[in-house]
Structure 1
């Protein structure tokens, strides 16, 4: 069997009459990466397969150089790679590290579905939550510790209760939900965050289109659900019983983690839910809702100064 150098010399000699081509191919065959590829695969490649693969070798060197120079190549975002396929030289295109990172980021973002939520949810993180310094409080640290514990313990195969974060405006309740969702996204878990007062308005608007059941069922089935600002507005009996009640009943039966934020404590929320927006009092229905909330989550009262101006969140 001819040595690799003898094979290359033979191939170049065949094009002796074409100086520009010979010069071009001399440069290609002298390329260190081409040399290393041919050396590594010399047992698989015959002189004929190398001759037939000259165009592929040129393509590889040309496209690699374009990519290295930051110029537009035939496959932006990809880099060429020499391979042997069925005994022939070929070029495969693999994504760059930058493209892989972009895809990973897009996949992570896709795992967090915010519905009528503030933009800062996308950037929320545990590291940015006040755990020390003048804005840290024992209850904020407790909420953070419980959030971290949930993320660590979460498994789709066993029920882990969510959190019910109650407290005044601007203490970081919604921000912490976003941090939990983003951390879960890094672990491949899908989360849906819903500003419940806005969702209630949307559901009412869908009544005439007969699509309320589909929208409600879509929300109730997500792996991890976060309902923000429960109790911000008085609910109609229909929203309370046929929307919120049905969602919570399903999630309790299926043991799906559910989070809540509210300006009301659980004890206060039961009184709020007992009176609908028409002034009708139905304490038993409110107690039924609260039974499900208590099953699905564990309450933490978050206290501290209003951080809305500092974080731009609630």
Structure 2
């Protein structure tokens, strides 16, 4: 890519440099954006300072036009802007709106630890949460917005999460993901954890040489806001229940960290029909009750039902 200053000098160095320079600057000063800028700042500029700013004006027009054509990769993500500095015109390179949007999206993604979020949930937005003709969905949305406002107003206080339960396809997981995305926009660290997938990963880590169960559990249990999605979807071993889920919930309860759940089971069903019965068929109601007490401390139950949105 040819340097603008070098290009300007080469024009001046030609035999007919006076004519070339005059034609070049006539084009530059006739540029609508240049004319508008000079008019708007005329009280800050003299004729001499405008003349001395010729190379900057040429740089601005050249870079702007090259970027519009897509032929200039200089300072990618930045665009030239005319500015006044000490009564002279200079070029300042400032981030484009597209670049700022990309940076913001990257920041949001960095604030969400994704442990099993489906592709359909990766851009979940509370503004798109469907609640028409469903008082339950509307109530869930209102509670979600109240939580976000309370959390962002007082992030150092304990804010109880929700245990969102109901039938298939009513938007439970979507709502959890949308809450996570809204918090992430305000730089709150969240983890979205699809529990059946997480349980499989934990089993796989038992023999791993590059990571450990303890490290992974520590990452999850300490995050400021945790979304445990689809709890109760698969049978649970005693090890997953007591040494994985139990450890995570115990830590979060003791440290009062906001925790959310989604499930097809009510709290009572989760305790009696799922947590009390291990994958081997053992019946352990006391251990289930102990775990359920932690879930009740961490989350308020909110039922969401209605038509299956996945079939629409």
Q: TM-score, normalised by structure 1?
A: 0.80
Q: Which residue of 1 aligns with 2:258?
A: 257
Return the alpha-carbon distance in structure 1 between the equivalents of residues 176 and 17 of structure 2: 72
2:151 aligns with one of 143, 151, 154: 154
1:93 and 2:86 aligned: no
Q: 1:8-19 maps to which residues of 2 (within 5 A)? A: 18-19=18-19
Cα deviations across residues 68-122 of structure 1 (Å, max 9, x unaligned)? x444333343221245678986532101223222322333343333322222212
**Which deviates more from structure 2 when the two are superposed, residues 84-93 or residues 251-260?**
84-93
Contact in 1 for aligned 2:45/2:88 (Cα 8 Å): no
Distance 1:127 1:23, change over 3 A: closer
Q: Which residue of 2 aligns with 1:236?
A: 237
Return the alpha-carbon distance in structure 2 between the equivalents of residues 103 and 33 of structure 1: 31
Q: Where do 4+ consecutive residues of structure 1 move more than 4 Å?
A: 36-43, 83-90
The structural deviation recorded for 1:131 is 2.2
- Indicate the RMSD between aligned Cα atoms, in angstroms: 3.0
Q: Which residue of 2 aligns with 1:78?
A: 78
The structural deviation recorded for 1:175 is 1.8
Q: Which residue of 2 aligns with 1:169?
A: 168
Q: 1:285-300 maps to which residues of 2 (within 5 A)? A: 285-300=287-302
Return the alpha-carbon distance in structure 1 between the equivalents of residues 128 and 84 of structure 2: 49
Provide the secondary structure at the position in 1 that maps to 2:122.
Answer: helix
The structural deviation recorded for 1:178 is 2.0
Return the alpha-carbon distance in structure 1 between the equivalents of residues 41 and 90 of structure 2: 12
Provide the secondary structure at the position in 2 that maps to 1:232.
Answer: coil
Contact in 2 for aligned 1:50/1:88 (Cα 8 Å): no
Q: Which residue of 2 aligns with 1:302?
A: 304
Return the alpha-carbon distance in structure 1 between the equivalents of residues 70 and 142 of structure 2: 48
The structural deviation recorded for 1:302 is 2.0
Provide the secondary structure at the position in 2 that maps to 1:276.
Answer: coil
Q: Which residue of 1 aligns with 2:205?
A: 206
Aligned residues: 290
Q: Which residue of 2 aligns with 1:180?
A: 179
Return the alpha-carbon distance in structure 1 between the equivalents of residues 117 and 185 of structure 2: 20
Contact in 2 for aligned 1:16/1:22 (Cα 8 Å): no
Q: Which residue of 2 aligns with 1:4?
A: none
Cα deviations across residues 230-257 of structure 1 (Å, max 9, x unaligned)? 1122222221122111111111122111
1:121 and 2:121 aligned: yes
Return the alpha-carbon distance in structure 1 between the equivalents of residues 38 and 16 of structure 2: 21
Contact in 1 for aligned 2:45/2:87 (Cα 8 Å): no
Q: Which residue of 1 aligns with 2:112?
A: 112
Q: Which residue of 1 aligns with 2:222?
A: 221
Provide the secondary structure at the position in 1 that maps to 2:91.
Answer: strand
Q: TM-score, normalised by structure 2?
A: 0.80
Return the alpha-carbon distance in structure 1 between the equivalents of residues 65 and 37 of structure 2: 13
Show structure 1 runs of 5+ residues with no match. Answer: 1-11
Show structure 2 runs of 5+ residues with no match. Answer: 1-11
Distance 1:34 1:146, change over 3 A: closer
Q: Which residue of 1 aligns with 2:8?
A: none
